[in-house]
Structure 1
């Protein structure tokens, strides 16, 4: 009884004081023990009660003051954790994707997906003021609750109606405060890069950064010193993914998930400027996160079709909604239609991910271009540092026909092997040193192809990204320190 009592006291002190939300109350959850967790990074320079932050924090953030930012969800990432323990997937949604805003908050029915929160917040705040609610903290919390619900509903619809089981809301200052606890953090960039707007100044290769540099690392989307790098918002999404992977790896290596003192420090910071749904068991989630830090998660960015302007003249990302729905359904392991009585072309319905272990420049983009031309759906591409010699096809349950069709399309020399580590309907093509594309699609010539990626000064030109690396589709696996632009 004494041990149980002590454990309860420690549990209560660790999680007590966390700000919880009922924005998901009454929602139907995922089936089969799966969990979809929406991570929202709020672009606010205020604390949880709507008050300005200390000037020292504004100086460190290098992001303006309380007059800047707002209530946009500048980071949107859906983490899908399969109930069977197989590989998890984190899907980044570019913040400027043009979407239908559920409920038309503030009378706006279409806009950037990040804006659903801010419009709903503003609408609710004005309603409360009109109703005579004078308590500033009460107005702030009720308005934020409306913002959360609108953003969650909009994301759910944008992704094709997938359930959202839990959410975590993190403000910019909360990110900074957590980074302060765990600093220094090891990150890696592919080239020297500098940006006065975000304060970024990084050299090529691995380096240890402090909390202030961490904010700059995840916010950078410009480099006028090295314009050839051609940064866009999609690169910022990739930076965010890489930082999460690096941070998780470092926490795992340092034993933070099993060290109560370290976990307490992180939780104490999380109580200040974060919010989460009332049904999320944070300690259970921490145990899940510990498993994911071993590399059992892949990060991808959902594709855009082209850059352009909306009717108000704002720069937005236009997307193929049907393509988004199809990719998301495949990534979260949605059941695939049986192919036993279908024509041969229907055997290509499972999702194919490509993992390159060769370090050959452009190979993943060439392979995806070839497979797409053959009628396959490529859900993600990525790399692995193991430098394997033999190319292999792995497939999850229900994907045998597609795996066989894939092997045939690639020349019939690759063995397809069943894997319990892959979700149903998923296929992984692991490229080894022996891999060669068939002659009809292996030259990698994309010259003259329509849809070149816009430069930083040309992002309003309606054009499709040139290849997967430009679109941000290359999957990044956890379990190490990824190197990114």
Structure 2
């Protein structure tokens, strides 16, 4: 047993070292002055940034088959916006982890780059800083090559982290993970089929969604559509928003964690290596992030010791430049963050009033990977229900430990 354990640990070490060598590392968090919020506790905060760019981490176009699967346009679509922002809070005492989703259109004060201090959508700090750094490097006579590109990306990361940290008010960012759209798709490929649950059938020609109601298994292409949907083009009365998309993303992560636990993937070294191999080519992380430790923490979260909350907004509005934005109450946001990061106790999670665990339309068994639903299927009543946490909208905390049904 000792020899087997030693061999397994050695295998993990070799595999981690090989994968670690292919991941882009950034030193932007090594300078304590890079953040306005100092490190005040032993808890760990990891900022997840999902980029809107249809390019790889090296700035080069992705393979055409990936663009076809993404259903999101080609290399010229999108920009350097952090369209997905999630703060993962892992308490040092081993209590429940919390994930805070930061709506991408929240109108905030930018920070962390020359000329910052103006108001913009929180997702845009990355792109503004990247463009400013590229301009400065060109003026300084630096060749427009891979080195200059990565310097500009680091400027974007630094600004996004500074802007988010300042907005939240009490969150020191210990680590970051930046993912491209390709990274998400490739991870989904490695772990598919993936179980998800929807409250009702829905279709969206923009994202490629065509799902039935209830519990079902989806492939990697459908997973991309699942987390990108923000409208229903078949029913004008079924309204979606970016906040509903945030809830979809949370539900997807919870479902994947549950599935990985059920399948024993996190304890299966070859399977986990396949997942890491898929991720490594299309992500960037800070130089201090320990991947093995992160995997160990992820393993504990698969048991349900995690909850997801979206920051509150006060409404939808327009910026002076005519952009659609989320209006926010800064004091309310910071109070929410404080209560989530430093709760007075750690009670057993219960479904919230806005998220009753009583009205799921999920069938008792998993369906095959979802196929385009016929009109008859879309209008048919759901099969006999089985108890499953059901969330009607984006408010309240979504709890881990199963496969939740969402809008």
Sort the TM-score into its range (normalised by shorter chain). Answer: 0.7 to 0.9
Give the aligned partner of residue 340 of structure 2. Answer: 331
Q: Which string of whole-angstrom CA distances, capped at 9 and with x for unpartnered residues, describes residues 348-387 of structure 1?
A: xx99998348xxxxxx15xxxxxxxxxxxxxxxx445699
Q: How does 1:5-404 map to 2 (within 5 A)?
A: 8-27=13-32, 30-103=39-112, 109-333=118-342, 355-356=350-351, 364-365=353-354, 382-384=355-357
> Structure 1's 189 and 283: CA in aligned 2 closer, same or farther, altered over 3 A?
same
Q: Does 1:477 align with 2:389?
A: no
Shift of 1:105: 5.4
CA-atom RMSD, angstroms? Answer: 2.5
Shift of 1:13: 2.5
Shift of 1:5: 6.2
Counterpart Cα distance in 1 of 2:12 and 2:285: 23
Q: Which string of whole-angstrom CA distances, capped at 9 and with x for unpartnered residues, describes residues 42-73 of structure 1?
A: 11101111111122111111101111111000
Counterpart Cα distance in 1 of 2:202 and 2:175: 36
Secondary structure of 1:40's partner? Answer: strand
CA contact (8 A) 1:23 1:145 kept: yes
CA contact (8 A) 1:103 1:109 kept: no
When normalised by structure 2's length, the TM-score is 0.85
Shift of 1:16: 2.8
> Structure 1's 133 and 282: CA in aligned 2 closer, same or farther, altered over 3 A?
same
When normalised by structure 1's length, the TM-score is 0.72
CA contact (8 A) 2:95 2:346 kept: no
Larger fraction in strand = 1
CA contact (8 A) 1:29 1:165 kept: no
Give the aligned partner of residue 371 of structure 1. Answer: none
CA contact (8 A) 1:72 1:114 kept: yes
Q: Which moved more, 1:97-106 or 1:180-189?
A: 97-106
CA contact (8 A) 2:52 2:83 kept: yes
Counterpart Cα distance in 2 of 1:159 and 1:315: 21
How many residue pairs are counted as aligned between the two chains?
368
> Structure 1's 16 and 104: CA in aligned 2 closer, same or farther, altered over 3 A?
closer
Counterpart Cα distance in 2 of 1:385 and 1:87: 24
Q: Which has the larger radius of gyration?
A: 1
Counterpart Cα distance in 1 of 2:329 and 2:268: 45
Shift of 1:32: 4.4
- In structure 1, runs of 5+ residues without a counterpart are 337-349, 358-363, 366-381, 388-467
CA contact (8 A) 1:106 1:119 kept: no
> Structure 1's 121 and 49: CA in aligned 2 closer, same or farther, altered over 3 A?
same
Shift of 1:263: 1.0
- In structure 2, runs of 5+ residues without a counterpart are 361-390
> Structure 1's 291 and 386: CA in aligned 2 closer, same or farther, altered over 3 A?
farther
Counterpart Cα distance in 2 of 1:315 and 1:351: 37
Q: Which string of whole-angstrom CA distances, capped at 9 and with x for unpartnered residues, describes residues 196-254 of structure 1?
A: 01111111001111111111000000112122221011000001001111111111111
> Structure 1's 67 and 55: CA in aligned 2 closer, same or farther, altered over 3 A?
same
